[in-house]
Amino acid sequence: MPRAASKIRGDGEAVKIRGVLFAVITAVSLSHATEQVSQSPPPAREPSFPSKLDTYLTTYVRLTSAERRLLLSGAPVTALLDANASQEVAVFGAVWVDALPSAYVQLLKDIENFERGGGFRVTKRISDPPRLEDFSSLELPRDDVADLKSCRVGACAIKLSQAALDRLRKEIDWSKRTATADATTLARQLAFEYVTGYLEGGNDRLAVYRDAERPTFVADEFKSMVDRIPSLVEYLPELRTYLLEYPKATLPTSSSFLYWQEAQFGLKPTIRINHVVIDEHPGGIAVASKQIYASHYFWTALELRVLVSDPARGRGFWFVDISRSRSDGLTGFVGRLVRRRVESEAQKGILGLLQNTKLRLEQKP
């Protein structure tokens, strides 16, 4: 074979060999690249809320994008909720807490230390069963003593039932030097009888306030208000039934207690009595604080706190607070001014609660 032809054939085989080698190298490289892609971690997902909480925030709270980002960053967020402007104020609040939910329940059960300082002048957990001694530190504010002297059905600065007003008129002689002490003793007795009656008969034994011309049926106002809370109607139906039908209804996964306190709200110190229900079950923890009496401002109130776990964020929980209250004096020109003040103070109160709860729980060892 001529040398030229041999050279051409050799060159052709070399080209083929180089082509095969190139194909092999390319295949190996692609295979290695594919292996690297399959072994690399998936891109990090944007932080989000658990499904049910996300639905609630979207449907009922309607947080803005900026508020959602703020909440996801770990900062507390509050917002006003839809409410009957003539008589109701509703506030939402939430924050992420890096602690076990059981730690919050432990704090709450020690209510006398949990709600102390600041606007809380006195907080006292009521025994089970109640004792008259539970109210030994209850003192009538000075302005209330002055107002009681002229109180009558349909015109009183303090929210009381007709039976309570009748007893004040019959049992207290305001001309005596001991009148203030006597009125305080009677107030303690009335509070003891009131909580005892509530434990026996539930909402049917709640007061009918006769401080104004028209009577206010606390049980009716409470039911009407509860029916407007979607988180109870839709998400927590068993708790809703328990709150409305206690003590006939039972909630096996719950524990409860009553407490009274004197708190500074608005222009006057207010004596309040609350029924706290702690519902603990595998799906989460819900806490309802039901106001059954307030000496000023409020007909009724309910604060619902839900502890929502979020496995995507690890240990901890979303602390969600939904507060609703009904009050008189929110209509007319002056009423609208009062309403704005009440809304502002309510949001500040919820914000303080969120910040304080997060701080105290995250500092615990």
User: Residues with Cβ < 8 Å from 156, sequence gap 6 or more?
Assistant: 147, 148, 165, 210, 211
Tell whether the model's pLDDT for residue 302 goes beyond 90.
yes
Confidence of residue 4 (pLDDT cuts 50, 70, 90): very low
Confidence at residue 46, expressed as pLDDT on a 0 to 100 scale: 59
Q: What is the pLDDT of residue 331?
A: 67
Residue 82: pLDDT over 50: yes
Smallest CA-to-CA distance from 293 within 219, 227, 207 is with 207
Q: Name which residue leads in pLDDT, 22 or 210.
A: 210
Look-up: residue for tokens 């506030």?
91
Helical segments of 202-331, H only: 218-226, 230, 237-245
SS3 label, residue 22: helix
User: To 10 degrees, what angle do helices 332-363 and 101-109 make?
Assistant: 110
Beta-bridge partners for 285: 280, 307
pLDDT tens profile 314-360: 889 999 999 999 987 766 666 777 777 778 888 888 999 999 999 99
Average pLDDT over residues 225-240: 85
- Please state, rounded to an integer, the average pLDDT across all residues of the chain: 85
From 3.30.360.10, 3.30.70.120, 3.30.530.20, 3.40.50.300, which CATH number describes the 51-363 domain? 3.30.530.20
Q: Which tokens go with 121? A: 């002048």
Q: In the predicted model, what is the mean pLDDT of residues 224-229?
A: 88
| Residue 45, pLDDT score | 54
Ordered by start, the domain boundaries in the chain are: 51-363
Q: Is the pLDDT at 16 greater than 50, yes or no?
A: no
Q: How far is CA 253 from the centre of its chain?
A: 19
Does the pLDDT value for residue 18 go beyond 60? no
Q: Which two structure tokens, joined as six digits, stand for 112?
A: 């006398």
User: pLDDT tens digit string along 132-153?
Assistant: 999 999 999 999 999 999 999 9
**Mean pLDDT across the stretch 20-41?**
37
Q: Alpha-carbon distance 306 to 344, whole Å?
A: 23
342 contacts 327 by C-beta, under 8 angstroms = yes
